[in-house]
Amino acid sequence: MSTQPDFVDPMGTTSLGTAQTPAWVRMQMVLGYDGAAYNGWARQPNVTGVQQLVEEALEMIVRRRVRVVVAGRTDAGVHARRQVVHFDLTEEEHEGLPRKASLEPGPALVRRINGILGRQEGAVWVHEARRAPEGFDARFSALARRYSYRIADGQHRWDPLTRHLTTWHREELDVEAMNREAQTVLGRHDFLTYCKPREHATTIRTLQEFSFTRGDDGLILAHLKADAFCHNMVRALIGAAMMVGDGREQPGFLATRLEQMVRDSKTKLSHPRALVLEEVYYPEADELAARALQTRARRTDDEVEQGPTQG
């Protein structure tokens, strides 16, 4: 049972377990989406984000507004293979999800929500849904997120059929040089140079993995894994590595820029269409609540230490 709902119920109160209010069931859902079809994850005025579609689909099912919390917001054009969200239902809503006695609530929700989302021609698709373990928070319980990025360097590798998932780069890239650069920024740092700061938010992150490999198809595949990524961080890191890979910048560029902690004309973003959120990692069920508390506390400590970030 959830102890902190993420929305106000129709009666205008968030108290739990009383005669006036229901008990809450936290749901955990995994979904994928084609980011090219939407203006990022978040709800925004005058444009369509993935969050809006998911919340509207849930509203059609339970007949009220449901707020969805995501593991990591993605920018416009960025895709997700296994994004994770959570949201809260009443016990009555949860038990009412199946239309057939043979289905459990989780699989029933998957079938019903995909029936609605399928009208978008498969651009958003739910893979699984279930009652979340106690203490689960899609955002703050996460241990890490992993992204991939595909690059076709050289016009002979450009394929129009995969252009919506691949960045095209005219010059050949030196994969070994980019890997050497990637190793210099691993670890816990203030990634201000490589982030678009949000007001009063920290840009301190722990980059756990960053590598480039050339596949049998000749394309370059980058992998990045971190405890969390701040806004534009992945695209800025890849953009900087590509500048060394094609000779525009000298070796040592990524580390030097990291130490400078400044966003300027040398901060280049790679194209969003090649970026995919591949996976979100969580601890064992009995460690979820503690992880959420630890993450919140650490982010607060980082913000106090760093102070408000400047754009």
Q: Kindly give, in sequence order, each residue whose CB lies less than 8 Å from that of residue 55, ignoring residues fewer than 6 positions away.
A: 43, 65, 66, 67, 68
User: Under a CB-based contact definition with an 8 Å cutoff, are residues 244 and 177 in contact?
Assistant: yes
Active site residue 137: no
State the catalytic residue, choosing from 75, 88, 137, 153: 75
User: Under a CB-based contact definition with an 8 Å cutoff, are residues 69 and 104 in contact?
Assistant: no
> What are the distances in angstroms from CA 141 to CA 128, 131, 282?
18, 15, 6
DSSP annotation of 197: P
Closest CA relative to residue 163, chosen from 173, 177, 150, 172: 150
User: Under a CB-based contact definition with an 8 Å cutoff, are residues 152 and 229 in contact?
Assistant: no
> What is the C-alpha separation between 58 and 11, in angstroms, rounded?
19
User: Under a CB-based contact definition with an 8 Å cutoff, are residues 190 and 306 in contact?
Assistant: yes
> What is the C-alpha separation between 21 and 33, in angstroms, rounded?
35
Number of H helices, E strands in the chain: 7, 10
Question: Which two three-digit tokens encode residue 303?
Answer: 């913000």
- Residues classed as catalytic: 75
